[in-house]
Structure 1
Amino acid sequence: MEEINRQYLQNSSGLDFQVEPVLVNPEASRTAQGLMKYLCSIYGRYMLTGQQIGVLSTPELDMIHEATGKYPAVAGFDFMNYSPSRVERGAECRDTDLAIEWWKRGGIVTFCWHWNAPKDLVDLPPDRSWGRGFYTEATTFDVAKAMSDPDSEDYRLILRDIDAIAAQLALLQEAGVPVLWRPLHEASGGWFWWGAKGPEPCIALWKLMYERLTRHHGLNHLIWVWNGQHAGWYPGDEYVDILGEDIYPPKHDYSSQKERFLSAASYSKRNKIIALTENGVVPDPDRMAKDCTPWAWNCTWYGEFVFREEDGRRVYSGEYTELEQLRKTYHHPWTITLDGLPDWEVWIGS
């Protein structure tokens, strides 16, 4: 199978995988537009391989290369330790620099933000420590209260935190790095504080972040990726470029996750690219083709999903995705790895 036929996918799934490369930000940068153009050109025909790196230890990309002989096309990073309530407690982060380096190597960059609550951290180790301050159980910060009063201290702290991340995003923009930007993820689950009070304050927070980053800070290199995982939490097509789902199936379950793909497709009234923005097990490309489930990219989570400690060294762990299955995916004719990406200077300039 050299290439999945896009017309076959359309006819058998009822979905249209032709997506116009138009971003919701009318001032989107040339690099963001170029990356979106590329994503639209391959959508429905190829899946980009992807991998999230760890927060403090980052062996995942090299582990994938050691296991498969290939690097992923997409690398995932996290602004978590740039959160002001973590910085003031001594947290450090290099993800901005690492992301710039990855783009210079020719890779695609995606960022999430495990946003430590601006204040009111419970700080009762181990489960409710400040280091887990993005979880609902580890903070009493009330997002509904904050969003209801723009004159309040809590609202000002939300702006402070967004501005802190804007400073990091600005460095990426200055370096010419387009970013698949995935904030406020998994909100409908309620386990993160931004989703703890229901959809209304979370949607308001998404729109505030969009306006603050694009209008106030002039950050035009962002492609807005939403994965709130429930239709009732969707902020609207005018605020979202790409839809994502985070899926952690049972170990060695290589199914296409077609039901979740179709669920994501139903959130929008327009054709949107749909990505597997987090995964534990890597889905089988052949099953994806059979089920007409062309995730635009996958992004395997870090740590135990990739490696284990053995005799004082790190080795690939097949606990979630067996080694032969991973190799199959990274060498499949329908997947793209780092070496299969275009020359971005040529592509974006085209």
Structure 2
Amino acid sequence: MINTNDQALFRVEPNLINPNAEDNAKRLMSYLCDIYGKRILTGQQIGVVTSPEVDIIYETTGKYPAVYGFDFMNYSPSRTERGSACSDTDIAIDWWNNGGIVTFCWHWNAPKDLVDELPDRNWDKGFYTNATTFDVKKAMDDESSEDYLLLIRDIDAISLQLLRLQEAGVPVLWRPLHEASGGWFWWGAKGAEPCVKLWKLMYDRMTNLHKLNHLIWVWNGQHADWYPGDEYVDIIGEDIYPPAQHYESQSERFRTAQSYSKKNKIIALSENGPIPDPDLMVRDQALWAWNCTWYGNFVYTEKDGRKQYSGEFTELAQLLKFYNHPFSVTRDEVPDLRSYPLR
């Protein structure tokens, strides 16, 4: 499947940036490196409140995705203090125990200074730049400030959830501070410098203080100026939302993502709307490590009180092709990663 001239680009050594990474993380990384450039892991993101997407995928295709995407959003302290609850950690543990792979992002509700105005700037939109006046640059420039200490508080709160996953033996493809260069999230609203500093702070605190050694760090900043350095990144992710029913391989974005690093890094399609056609991915050598289709109407519609596959973004025939293609890996094909060989 791989052109001879491109083979070297898909050779990635499974060396995690955390020198104390635990074996389950190393085994998952070994597996990802072994299949990179040969197969793509099918993936699906969970819904924020309800999560019918994976069940609908199974009902439609007869198969579960290999990768399930979760979100720590409702564990953010500025949401829990307003009554938000979340069970993503528990669902993720069950998913791993049933043979699947876990990835987490974090729509980080700003620690304070929420605009809290209906309809579009309510407190539950507090991860968006336009729904908070929290200034990440001001916070990162003054480590004695209340704002900086609130960032620490929030990182520690999410670390407790990650610790639960570590104690359950679950390695995590960890994708914080996503899409930062777009500026639509507060962590990217003040430019690259404070965001990169925040990434390094989070890595240091989670790795060296909280001893979270089950994390594989997936950077998803989407611009070279925002790249924190190879020593802070295990995998590079790109989020791509083409128009509905457009199935291009996204090879240009794939090549751009490869250019961020001075080393070979695994490249993943960490969010997508329509699913790229696997034949086009192979043809164009845009061999994403996994995809993660976004939730809601990207997957299903509701008719007569019943949720069912929509086909609005990825047509049914295209979905079936993807889930049954020899390039694609579904959950039933994932080996036992608890005993996968280390290398």
TM-score by length of 1: 0.97
The equivalent residue for 2:262 is: 269
Q: Note the alpha carbon deviations across 1:272-293, whole angstroms, 9 max, x for none.
A: 0000000000000000000001
1:202 aligns with 2:199: no
1:159 aligns with 2:152: yes
Q: Note the alpha carbon deviations across 1:33-87, whole angstroms, 9 max, x for none.
A: 0000000000000000000010110001000001111100000000000000000
Q: Note the alpha carbon deviations across 1:6-34, whole angstroms, 9 max, x for none.
A: 4x2x51x5861000000000000100000
Q: Is this contact kept in 2: 1:31–1:348, CA < 8 A? A: no
The equivalent residue for 2:128 is: 135
Write the letter of the residue equivalent to 2:78: S
Q: Supply the distance in 2 between the matched residues of 1:203 and 1:223 (Cα, whole angstroms).
A: 17
Match of 1:328 among 305, 312, 321: 321
SS in 2 for 1:346: coil
Q: Is this contact kept in 2: 1:30–1:348, CA < 8 A? A: no
Q: Supply the distance in 1 between the matched residues of 2:191 and 2:32 (Cα, whole angstroms).
A: 32
TM-score by length of 2: 0.99
Q: How much does 1:312 deviate?
A: 1.0
Q: Is this contact kept in 1: 2:30–2:342, CA < 8 A? A: no
Q: Where in structure 2 are the equivalents of 1:1-350 lying within 5 Å?
A: 4=1, 6=2, 8=3, 10-11=4-5, 13=6, 16-347=9-340
Q: Note the alpha carbon deviations across 1:260-311, whole angstroms, 9 max, x for none.
A: 0000000000000000000000000000000001000000000000000111
Q: Supply the distance in 1 between the matched residues of 2:213 and 2:225 (Cα, whole angstroms).
A: 27
Write the letter of the residue equivalent to 2:209: H
- Which 4+ runs in 1 deviate beyond 6 A? none
Q: Supply the distance in 1 between the matched residues of 2:291 and 2:205 (Cα, whole angstroms).
A: 28
Q: Supply the distance in 2 between the matched residues of 1:290 and 1:345 (Cα, whole angstroms).
A: 33
Size of the alignment, in residue pairs? 343
Q: Is this contact kept in 1: 2:44–2:67, CA < 8 A? A: yes
Question: Structure 1 346/15 Cα, relative in aligned 2: closer, same or farther at 3 Å?
Answer: closer
Write the letter of the residue equivalent to 1:152: S
Q: Is this contact kept in 1: 2:26–2:342, CA < 8 A? A: no
Q: How much does 1:233 deviate?
A: 0.4
Q: Supply the distance in 1 between the matched residues of 2:228 and 2:8 (Cα, whole angstroms).
A: 22
Q: Note the alpha carbon deviations across 1:184-231, whole angstroms, 9 max, x for none.
A: 000000000000000000000000000000001000000000010000
Unaligned runs of 5+ in 2: none
Q: Supply the distance in 1 between the matched residues of 2:211 and 2:182 (Cα, whole angstroms).
A: 31
Write the letter of the residue equivalent to 2:299: V
Write the letter of the residue equivalent to 2:224: A
Q: Note the alpha carbon deviations across 1:146-167, whole angstroms, 9 max, x for none.
A: 0000000000000000000000
For the aligned residue pairs, the C-alpha RMSD in angstroms reads 1.0
SS in 1 for 2:173: strand
Question: Structure 1 196/140 Cα, relative in aligned 2: closer, same or farther at 3 Å?
Answer: same
Write the letter of the residue equivalent to 2:9: D
Question: Structure 1 339/43 Cα, relative in aligned 2: closer, same or farther at 3 Å?
Answer: same
Q: Supply the distance in 1 between the matched residues of 2:207 and 2:339 (Cα, whole angstroms).
A: 26
Write the letter of the residue equivalent to 2:204: E
Write the letter of the residue equivalent to 2:274: V
Q: Is this contact kept in 2: 1:51–1:72, CA < 8 A? A: yes
Q: Supply the distance in 2 between the matched residues of 1:217 and 1:261 (Cα, whole angstroms).
A: 33
Q: Supply the distance in 2 between the matched residues of 1:22 and 1:137 (Cα, whole angstroms).
A: 39
Q: Supply the distance in 1 between the matched residues of 2:295 and 2:158 (Cα, whole angstroms).
A: 22
